[in-house]
Structure 1
Amino acid sequence: MKESSLIFIISQPRSGSSLLQQILHSNEAIVSSPEPWQMLPLIYTYKKNSITSAYNPYFAVENFTRYLEETENGIEKYKNTVKQLALNLYEDKIGNHQYFLDKTPRYYHIINELIEIFPKAKFIFLVRNPLAVFASILDYNFKGDYKTFLKSEDRIDDLFLAPKLIEEGIRAKQNSVTIKYEDLINNTEEALSKISNYLALDTPLQMNYQLQGKFTNSLHLDTKSLDKHSKPVDSYITSWKKTINTTQKKKLALDYLRILKGNGSSYYDLEAIEKDLIDYVPNKKKIVTIPLDLLMKKEENLSIFQLIKKRVLIKLQSKIS
């Protein structure tokens, strides 16, 4: 299998990647599987990280790379081995199709490595209004429980690290295509034409799709809306309003947007999104609201004053509620 037969969708979780995957998978030239996650464990054998498990992966990577460096060009040889192993595994899936599509949202962690290993692969970057992403993760993954949501380190990465790395990836990978979720919904034909041209498909992509075989009721695929529809619908564009239904959640969402603005995220007009949120009036008011940073930071990283403030606000909020 040639690396040019690979397509990667790179996105934040909750950005519509499952929808885009189904649209692409419905084309006769493209085959896919529910979130392979194939490249994460392969790349993290040599990529430095802070993951914790039964052994210390940081020391594992330190020692393994040292071991590889004992051989001339050892790391490069290993990367080539990883590449061939990955292509062999993808080849088992591609069959007679032109492309294999790997849709794994957490690949934003390894964008640079994917570009390095597969420079001829196709990269589709999918981005979405960050307010909608925030609300969708809060609703779909945490059922509105913002305290548990903001204690989750991997979800904090999804909120803050993913936009930064994706934006860097878009700049780094010149031969790629970037699609906004909102364009996929509101300007579907134009967005799909852009992807079809990029992939040089004989049969252009169509907006209609149907869940097939391994995707039906898969635990590894977001079927929140996919099994309800057969084409993109606009009902999720402003669905954040249903989730941001209290002044507390509005406070958290505003804090999130303002941090993104400070980080310099540029592929959305954050000023306009912030204004929409400011103008929006939730149907439930909280007299006491807790700032995002107090809920997001680990307690050991808070000052004494911040820790006391956090605990007092949580207690007051629960009593008043």
Structure 2
Amino acid sequence: MNTIFIIGQHRTGSTLLKNILNVHSQVIMAFDEMNLYEPFRKNTLDKFLKKSNLTTNELINLLKKRNIYGTFWRDFENSGITFVELEKELNKENKLDEQIVLTAVLQLLKEKSNVKMAGVKYPVHIRKISNLLKYFPDAKIIFLTRNPKAIIASKINDPATKKRKEQSKIKAWFIHYFTLLYFCFEYNLSIKIFFRNKENLYLVTYEDLVLHKEKTVQQICEFLGIGFEKEMLLVSGKQSSFNNTNNKTFHQDSIEKYKKVLSSFDSRLIDFLTRKSFRNIQNEPHPHL
């Protein structure tokens, strides 16, 4: 099956890239992320499958109750696939596992849209890319990354984080620096995993996607084996957490907006913790430039 996966860290521009690909006449992208193997979550799809030998009927009930973590699973009715269609596809198998469920979903998306390729952003956490390579050895996998300062500033600045920080000054300080340190750790991990698997990955940076959009998208299409379509340049991603409402410029502006969000101490701390990884990925040849 012709499959596209976008992997990487959160806050790297995955919605923008997903929307660009989804405009293509021969591509259908799942409407949101699946988040298998997500750390600190007890209700991811993989954990439900491992806890017990889930039947198809039990899985469908979990989806209907919105009990599975990940926007795609929680809001499954927005996927364009009916519960009946998924149940029929999964009933062909004797036992369910992650590979079978993901394959069934992507196959249904592809068939219902009558396209060449189906894909999803963040099907699995970056640390489990080996599972993705095992399940889908012929998949086209795009590794998406971004300046770590921009990633962290975007996360710190998002409404959910801001709301949690409003509870108390002490809690706000803890949340702020836990977020910063955890995302630095995740950034270093993602870059390490990229280099460990780079022969199977196609590198794209958010900065390239914004500043060199046409050339970058053209080369992504070449990597995927599909023709470039100009409509792909006309879409945008979700609204930036930096609150710029001008759709024509907010992606470009967001590249430098971290400077207004991070304190000088935060900026130096991120530099100290991620400098080596950031330098290594900057020095890695970008296939589209």
TM-score (norm 2): 0.65
Residue 143, structure 1, aligned to residue 159, structure 2 = no
Q: Residue type matched to 2:129 in 1?
A: I
CA distance in 2, matches of 1:8, 1:79: 24
Q: Shift in Å at residue 210 of structure 1?
A: 4.2
Q: Secondary structure at the match of 2:105?
A: helix
CA change 1:168–1:80 in 2 (3 A) is farther
CA distance in 2, matches of 1:232, 1:24: 20
CA distance in 1, matches of 2:138, 2:249: 30
Q: Secondary structure at the match of 2:125?
A: helix
Greater radius of gyration (CA): 1
1:167 is aligned to: 192
CA change 1:231–1:114 in 2 (3 A) is farther
Is the 2:144–2:204 Cα contact (8 Å) retained in structure 1?
A: yes
Q: Residue type matched to 1:12 in 2?
A: Q
2:233 is aligned to: 208
Q: Shift in Å at residue 172 of structure 1?
A: 1.3
Is the 1:209–1:231 Cα contact (8 Å) retained in structure 2?
A: no
Query: Matched residues, percent identical?
Result: 22
Matches within 5 A, 1:27-46: 27-37=24-34, 40=36
CA distance in 2, matches of 1:7, 1:164: 22
Q: For residues 88-147 of structure 1, give each alpha carbon's deviation from its aligned partner in whole angstroms, at most 9, with x where no partner exists.
A: 122122231111121128631321211121111110011111111111111125239562
Could you list the runs of 5+ residues in structure 2 that have no partner in the other structure? Answer: 53-93, 166-171, 284-289
CA distance in 2, matches of 1:230, 1:29: 26
Q: Secondary structure at the match of 2:115?
A: coil
Q: How many residue pairs end up in the alignment?
A: 227
1:310 is aligned to: none
Q: Residue type matched to 1:149 in 2?
A: H
Matches within 5 A, 1:188-267: 188-204=213-229, 206-210=231-235, 222-224=238-240, 228-229=246-247, 233-244=251-262, 249-261=263-275, 266-267=280-281
Q: Shift in Å at residue 167 of structure 1?
A: 3.5
CA distance in 2, matches of 1:208, 1:263: 30
Q: Secondary structure at the match of 1:14?
A: coil
Q: Residue type matched to 1:32 in 2?
A: M
Q: Residue type matched to 2:10 in 1?
A: P
Residue 116, structure 1, aligned to residue 116, structure 2 = no
Q: Residue type matched to 1:6 in 2?
A: T
Greater relative contact order, per chain length (Cα 8 Å cut-off, separation 6+): 2
Q: Shift in Å at residue 258 of structure 1?
A: 0.4
CA change 1:36–1:89 in 2 (3 A) is same
CA change 1:191–1:132 in 2 (3 A) is same
Of 136, 139, 149, 1:131 maps to 149
Is the 1:26–1:209 Cα contact (8 Å) retained in structure 2?
A: no
Q: For residues 159-203 of structure 1, give each alpha carbon's deviation from its aligned partner in whole angstroms, at most 9, with x where no partner exists.
A: 312432343234314133101111111111221121011011134
- CA RMSD of superposed structures (Å): 3.6
Q: Secondary structure at the match of 1:190?
A: helix
Q: More deviation in 221-230 or 97-106?
A: 221-230
CA distance in 2, matches of 1:117, 1:110: 11
Of 1, 7, 13, 2:4 maps to 7
Could you list the runs of 5+ residues in structure 1 that have no partner in the other structure? Answer: 65-77, 212-220, 270-321
1:21 is aligned to: 18
CA distance in 2, matches of 1:117, 1:262: 32
